[in-house]
Amino acid sequence: MRGICALLLIAGCGGSGSSVAALDGVYQSSSDDEDTMGCGAGAPSGTLPVFRIESGAFLGTNAAKYELCTSTTPSSCLDLGLLSIRFTVRTSDGWADDTYGGDGSGSTCLLTHVISTLTESSAGHVQVVFETHSVTTTSPSPGCTPTGARNAESTMTCTKREVMIAARVN
């Protein structure tokens, strides 16, 4: 059920309608800094991910997919279809997205807000940032849902931030 809700949330987001095929391609990270305890500068994660960016129209909405790859060959990228959509709002220099979620059992609920950005830092280079904010609560309104997370956004703290700098290789 959560997958359907997430799909509906993604499908409901809009873009400006302009193409960003110039950012499409396979990228090799030259840095991947991660702060798993907050939103500080972070430290090198120890990995340099390879990923593919692919933009297009999905369910009538312009969006961009972010797919991890095992090599710089496009066929090595894990395409999960609509689940690979990571960016749904076109910006002047790339893509962005806000995703809200709620997960819990019993009386405990983890509400999250993930902010994702993809920006062109220079020709052939991009910066990808994933920032997670969350709060654990016992009585969110209107429940342990994306709407409940949106309502609780002001009470959330940053719990994780990842910043990748990458160059297009394919």
When pLDDT is cut at 50, 70 and 90, the band that residue 10 belongs to is very low
The confidence score (pLDDT) of residue 20 equals 52
In the predicted structure, residue 44 carries a pLDDT above the cut 80 = yes
Task: Tell me which H or E stretch contains 2.
Answer: helix 2-11
CA distance 97 to 103: 20
The confidence score (pLDDT) of residue 12 equals 36
Report how far apart, in Å, the C-alpha atoms of 52 and of each of 4, 28, 29, 79, 98 are.
24, 9, 11, 9, 20
Of all residues in the chain, the percent with pLDDT exceeding 70 is 87
CA distance 32 to 5: 30
CA angle 112–115–119, rounded 5-degree value: 165
pLDDT tens by residue, 120-142: 988 889 999 999 999 999 877 77
CA distance 168 to 170: 6
Q: Residue 37's Cα: distance from chain center in Å? A: 18
The confidence score (pLDDT) of residue 6 equals 38
Residue with tokens 């409940």: 148
Q: What is the mean pLDDT of the chain?
A: 86
The candidate with the shortest Cα–Cα distance to 162, out of 79, 23, 29, 41, is 41
In the predicted structure, residue 7 carries a pLDDT above the cut 70 = no
Average pLDDT over residues 59-76: 93
